[in-house]
Structure 1
Amino acid sequence: MDVIACENMIGGSQFLKEEGYKHLNDEDKAEVDKYVGFPERRC
């Protein structure tokens, strides 16, 4: 699954990922890395 931050900022998806990862342990981060992507919006 891809999660795209619909924000008017450069690097919004990466920022969202980093903020979410603050609440996960290393095992959970590894699971998210397997199944979830945070692509940057391309215009």
Structure 2
Amino acid sequence: MKNSKYLIQENIQKNNGRYSVALENIYEIREIYIELSKIL
């Protein structure tokens, strides 16, 4: 029982990590888009 709980927790942490990386990428893309729109 303890094992499966630990595995679930580990999975949640991995998914949160991926999600935060995706968010960072979205913010970077938005910043680039804003910079480009200033130039154009």
TM-score category by the smaller chain? 0.3 to 0.5
* TM-score normalised by length of structure 1: 0.33
Indicate the structure with greater helix content.
Answer: 2
* TM-score normalised by length of structure 2: 0.34
Q: Which has the larger radius of gyration?
A: 2
